Structure 1
């Protein structure tokens, strides 16, 4: 089959989804990183949206993480979607829910003031409370089989490794199934390998540079 190249950014959670899926499927690929603040011309030619990930299949570029995941499901072994059509559709819906939570996380760490920060924290808490009610988490999202939903939520929880260093924001409090799921995901080899060893330092510097309410909390925690 054609060679695969995953065009990546070091902090992009959507790239991590694709990297996890590729690892779970045992698919060989090359990984190339780009600076989204200074996009090279070759990347602009591949990605009309100017975003990562991009999966190059031979000379053809596929962009948008959900599309990449579906392509891998259709063309590579070791399926990560349920076989049942209804459950498969539900999982696709939950992947979209995971994307909505990533948008909420962006709003949380970018909030300019305490009031906005509190509102975004509450919205995240409500999202995760809903997820706790649906979650099986024994050990994976829907039971014993690792799925694309697991691949999607692993990068979500990785943000909270940084947030937990800053303070206790209570977003994930009182959610025992979710806590177990988060712990299982953090130990999964494909999840660990989805980022570079300096990921946490890169994320920390990125958050510090936001000049947001969270940045102020980070500075307080370091004082």
Structure 2
């Protein structure tokens, strides 16, 4: 049986477990996933089928033009690297149960999973993950390639820098600024600003490590 012609088409780059969640969101939204790519097809999720080799080994031969792409890779730095070398149009994936204010903005390539909430006047960057049940309150600014993990709660006027990862169940109080490429540990309570490249854990959150910029 042929697929209905009214389905939108999209490609997925990445074939791990994270990609399975994105694929289901897309299919529930009446998208047809036309191709799946991965840089290591031999190590893909067992439910991923017909995976083609990604662009790393042969960038010139990769089909950059065509259906839009979602980079379905959970590691922020890898998602950013892939976005740098792909020359594709990008699509978004938003679960039907997510609650998103009409006054908020969501960048290209971003995914919003089941039960997530994005309140008014928030800006979500490109290739961001707003994971299952995450809460992003009003007037937040979430940088490109960030990941807000399941059940994390960001209060109003919070800023999260490029590439930062807010862990499962973390809580960020109002008006806190988290720098770029930070890691906020699972369950951490963030009570004050976090410098770039920092790892913060605990209640209250304490910096335990500062990475050197690449």
- TM-score normalised to structure 1 length: 0.29
Query: Normalising by the residue count of structure 2, what TM-score does the alignment of the two structures yield?
Result: 0.29
Q: Judging by fraction of residues, say which structure has more helix.
A: 1
Higher relative contact order (CA 8 A, sep 6+): 1
Q: Which has the higher strand share?
A: 2
